[in-house]
Structure 1
Amino acid sequence: MGETTYELLSLGLRYWFILLIFLTLLRAYFLMRSDRRAYLQTLRQLPDAGLIGEVVNLATGEGQPLPREGMIGASRSCDIRVPELHRREMEFVFRPGFGVKLIPIHRKHQVLIDSEPLIKGVDYALHGTVLDIRGTQLRFRLFAGLDLPMRQTAFAPEVQVSQSSFDVQEPLPIITSIPEPTPPADSTNEMEMTWQFAPLPPETFEPAPQPLIRRRRRSERKMGEDHHE
Structure 2
Amino acid sequence: MKTESIQQIKALLATIDNRDDERIKAWQIDQRNGVQQALAQWNRRIQRLEKEQALFEEMQQFENDARSKGHRLIVGIDEVGRGPLAGPVVAAAVILPENFQLLGVNDSKKLSAKKRDELYAEIQNQAISIGIGMVDHDKIDEINIYQASKLAMGMALEDLCFVPDYLLIDAMKLDVNIPQESIIKGDARSISIAAASIVAKVIRDRLMDDYGKMYPGYGFENNAGYGTKEHLLGLEKQGICAIHRKTFAPIKDMY
Normalised by the shorter chain, which TM-score bucket?
under 0.3
The answer to which structure has the higher helix fraction is 2
Higher RCO (CA < 8 A, seq sep 6+)? 2
Q: Which has the higher strand share?
A: 1
What TM-score do you get using the length of structure 1 for normalisation? 0.26
The structure having more radius of gyration, on CA atoms, is: 1
> TM-score scaled by structure 2?
0.24
